[in-house]
Chains A and B, each alone.
Chain A
Amino acid sequence: MNLFTSFVLLTLLILFTPIMVSNTDPHKNNKYQSYVKNIVFCAFITSLIPAMMYLHTNQETLISNWHWITIQTLKLTLSFKMDYFSLMFMPVALFITWSIMEFSMWYMHSDPYINQFFKYLLLFLITMLILVTANNLFQLFIGWEGVGIMSFLLIGWWFGRTDANTAALQAILYNRIGDIGLLASMAWFLSNMNTWDLQQIFMLNQNPLNFPLMGLVLAAAGKSAQFGLHPWLPSAMEGPTPVSALLHSSTMVVAGIFLLVRFYPLMENNKLIQTVTLCLGAITTLFTAICALTQNDIKKIIAFSTSSQLGLMMVTIGLNQPYLAFLHICTHAFFKAMLFLCSGSIIHNLNNEQDIRKMGGLFKALPFTTTALIIGCLALTGMPFLTGFYSKDPIIEAATSSYTNAWALLLTLTATSLTAVYSTRIIFFALLGQPRFPPSTTINENNPLLINPIKRLLIGSIFAGFILSNSIPPVTTPLMTMPLHLKLTALTMTTLGFIIAFEINLDTQNLKYTHPSNPSKFSTLLGYFPTIMHRLPPHLDLSMSQKLATSLLDLTWLETTLPKTTALIQLKASTLTSNQQGLIKLYFLSFLITITLSMILFNCPE
């Protein structure tokens, strides 16, 4: 009898402790931050044990704790599913959160509400872990909504700023549209399979599952910022950099992809959904890569890079490779969080300067951050034998050698080379050349609270891919042989992107254009998508509903049709046909006299 389940539940329970002491003294003083950080570290260590046990025995577990309610034939319990995905994800998420919390001890140092910030980050982590370990759709929905709410609270952290409030509201609205899909799927599963438990859903694998799977794809598109529901992710960069690093690069935005990965037994038989996912992911990855090319805010470039990688994960799901998508989730978390932390270091050291046109020459001034940034960008583009290579290269290989939509494949390959282009752009503008910032800022990165998290994530960015790929149990047979030109596709596209980008970036120092060209405007304004979609559909919807409800229903059907028409007809008829003079008193008097006379005349006894 091993302690597998105990350690899993202990991990989740440890994280609740700082929330429970939040009304007491530790919450009010400065030690709360280290307390939360150490708690997350303990939870990380505790979660490594079940992960190692799983790697040793390849034995999945289902913990079903507390029977909450039984509604007619639906039994809802508190149940945790400890399989490959949740056991691998928990240590990764806890490690990254630990590093980000240490970083935010440096970054948010002068914030008066820093304790509340840490509490919010911890609440976010808890709800994310609830989502990941959920075995029934109800618990998953609790985690889903929880991460949405914490995202709202954390994006709008500096709530005095209008842009931050708008961005937080935008995140909620776009996530809500995705939630419609999730709720529709839950309702379908309830009415057709009589359950919300994943085990029963996978056992009763009926055939035409288009409706619930489309609902799940919509939910993933909302949460993971696929094309059509994507503008909230770049706007979410209004939040502090630790929030961007945790939520919008590693953890929350992969919740949608994670949902689709969880439901892979249903998706592997449904070709329509796979095609939808593939095309949606391909459009997303190319569109956001194009938008990232001409952004000037370093956090927005990294946000679009996240969006592009999410599109790539969606493509992987569309290729029926859920395990590769999950591996990419884990490896992407490392280097993307590190990229955000490095950009946070740059921003703070340049006195809150986020525009890359005003950075430069940081190669000598911030050597450690420069190293981390360059390694992060190389890992992102899939440099051989760094972390990104172990997940991105198999994805491209699987894409090029499977019987799939060639157009989607072309889009993905183009996006791969564009990844290299905008990475070069970041490196070139932020780090190389001469400084373009005012010289009166004190640039100092010698703080252990800053260096240690980046160092840990750096080691993770270099080695995690190797360690993860060689430790995981094999689940599908990998592709062993392919032609040389297909094998080298990803590397070729990336190298091409690097070379072209470097040449063009060098040109910007010598050539100048007077008017932005049309493609450049398309890219900078995010493809005109927010400009059109944030004003036009709401205006059309609201004016149509006003016309329907007020003008058509209230004024016309209920008021004018019967009552006013009747009155009008009566009025016209009476004015046309009457020729009275209105001598009312005379009429009444004659009536009285007639009545009296007739009563006297016909009542006298004969």
Chain B
Amino acid sequence: MTLIHMNVLMAFSMSLVGLLMYRSHLMSALLCLEGMMLSLFVLAALTILNSHFTLANMMPIILLVFAAYVAAIGLALLVMVSNTYGTDYVQSLNLLQC
């Protein structure tokens, strides 16, 4: 495993931890999701370019597209929560309102 790979994998795991452990804002989870996506993209692009695996050249781009979908849905959920509660604090999500 080269140094670059380890670097990017560390970035990925940082974002993962940031996604799963956050204080109060739902927005920070979404941002960490984007960070995960970014590090995965860089990892995939580096590996594929390094090994000249031309057949899989499409994969990072398709990954981008699906990450865009995910971000859109995440933002829609955020907007719904923000419309109901005024903020996006996760403490208020236990009231089971819609």
Contact = CB atoms under 8 A, between A and B. Distances in A.
Interface in B1-59: 16-17, 19-22, 29
A38 to B, nearest CB: 78
Contact of B20 (A574, A580, A582, A592): A592
B59 to A, nearest CB: 23
Contact of A585 (B16, B90, B95, B96): B90
Contacts of A591: 20
A575 B95 CA distance: 12
B95 A592 contact: no
B98 interface: yes
A475 interface: no
A584 interface: yes
Given A588-B20, A589-B20, A589-B21, A582 B98 contact: no
Interface in A573-595: 574-575, 580-585, 588-589, 591-592, 595
B93 interface: yes
A403 B94 CA distance: 93
A582 B98 CA distance: 12
B21 A582 contact: no
A575 B96 CA distance: 9
A582 B96 contact: yes
Contact of B98 (A575, A580, A588, A595): A575
Nearest to B93: A582
A581 B22 contact: no
B94 A581 contact: yes
Contacts of A580: 96
Nearest to A587: B20
A601 interface: no
Contacts of A1: none
Max count, chain A CB within 10 A of own CB: residue among B20, B21, B29, B94 = B20
A274 B19 CA distance: 86
Interface in B52-98: 90, 93-96, 98
Contact of A592 (B21, B93, B96): B21
Contacts of B96: 580-582
A574 to B, nearest CB: 8
Nearest to B94: A582
Contacts of B20: 588-589, 591-592
Contacts of B19: 588
A583 B98 contact: no
Nearest to A588: B20
A584 B98 contact: no
A585 B22 contact: yes
A591 B93 CA distance: 18
A162 B25 CA distance: 65
Contacts of B90: 584-585
Given A582-B93, A585-B22, A585-B90, A571 B98 contact: yes
B94 A583 contact: yes
Contacts of B16: 592, 595
B12 to A, nearest CB: 12
Contacts of A582: 93-96
Contacts of A595: 16
Nearest to B96: A582
A479 B37 CA distance: 99
B81 to A, nearest CB: 11
Contacts of A584: 90, 93
Interface string A494-525: 00000000000000000000000000000000
Max count, chain B CB within 10 A of own CB: residue among A571, A574, A582 = A582
Contacts of B22: 585, 588
A241 B90 CA distance: 82
A579 to B, nearest CB: 9
A509 B21 CA distance: 106
Nearest to B92: A582
Contacts of A585: 21-22, 90
A528 to B, nearest CB: 57
7 A-B pairs with the lowest CB-CB distances in the bound complex, closest first: A592-B20, A588-B20, A582-B94, A582-B93, A584-B90, A581-B94, A591-B20
Given A583-B94, A588-B22, 20 more contacts: A571-B98, A574-B98, A575-B98, A580-B96, A581-B94, A581-B96, A582-B93, A582-B94, A582-B95, A582-B96, A584-B90, A584-B93, A585-B22, A585-B90, A588-B19, A588-B20, A588-B21, A589-B20, A592-B16, A595-B16
27 contacts: A571-B98, A574-B98, A575-B98, A580-B96, A581-B94, A581-B96, A582-B93, A582-B94, A582-B95, A582-B96, A583-B94, A584-B90, A584-B93, A585-B21, A585-B22, A585-B90, A588-B19, A588-B20, A588-B21, A588-B22, A588-B29, A589-B20, A589-B21, A591-B20, A592-B16, A592-B17, A592-B20
Interface of A: 571, 574-575, 580-585, 588-589, 591-592, 595
Interface of B: 16-17, 19-22, 29, 90, 93-96, 98
